[in-house]
Amino acid sequence: MTGFVRAAVLTVPFKKLVSRLKAGKQEREQNQYNHTDDNRQVIRKVKWAISIVSKYTPWESKCLVQALTAHIMLKKRKISGTLHLGLKKDESENLVAHAWYISGNIVVTGGRGLWGYTEISKFGS
């Protein structure tokens, strides 16, 4: 899945990727997700799988690829979540982007280094 997503990130215009995300349901606030214990277990397994696979892919599987992969994998399992996009300035005052995916109270991807980013957009499923 990460390979498919990486290829899409490289070949599909960002606006088109975002329009696919917007085609889903309206975003929800995180505290509105009522996950069962089974869903939480699935979310944790998806989180684990993405973190392991991303370390060993021959292509870059950074934050956006990981967040989109989580979105797809959980949506297929009918588990809601929100993809977040954020920006911050680094020490040289250059803008740095980051993507993360949260389902319920579980940060599925992008949790490391998440703090300090200003959220600019989010897409719920």
Q: Would you list the DSSP string of the chain? A: -HHHHHHHHHHS-HHHHHHHHHTSPPP--GGG----HHHHHHHHHHHHHHHHHHHH-SS---HHHHHHHHHHHHHHTT---EEEEEEEE-TTS-EEEEEEEEETTEEEE--TT-TTPEEEEEEE-
Q: How far is 80 from 57, CA to CA, in rounded Å?
A: 26
Position 9 scores a pLDDT of: 87
41-90 pLDDT, tens digit per residue, is 999 999 999 999 999 988 889 999 999 999 999 999 999 999 999 999 98
pLDDT in tens, 10-32: 899 888 887 777 655 444 544 45
What domain range includes position 17? 2-124
Predicted pLDDT of residue 2: 87
Residue 34: pLDDT band with limits 50, 70, 90: low
What is the total count of domains within the chain?
A: 1
The CATH number of residue 79's host domain is 3.30.460
CA distance 25 to 102: 15
pLDDT of residue 113 exceeding 90, the answer is: no
CA–CA separation, 23 and 81 (whole Å): 14
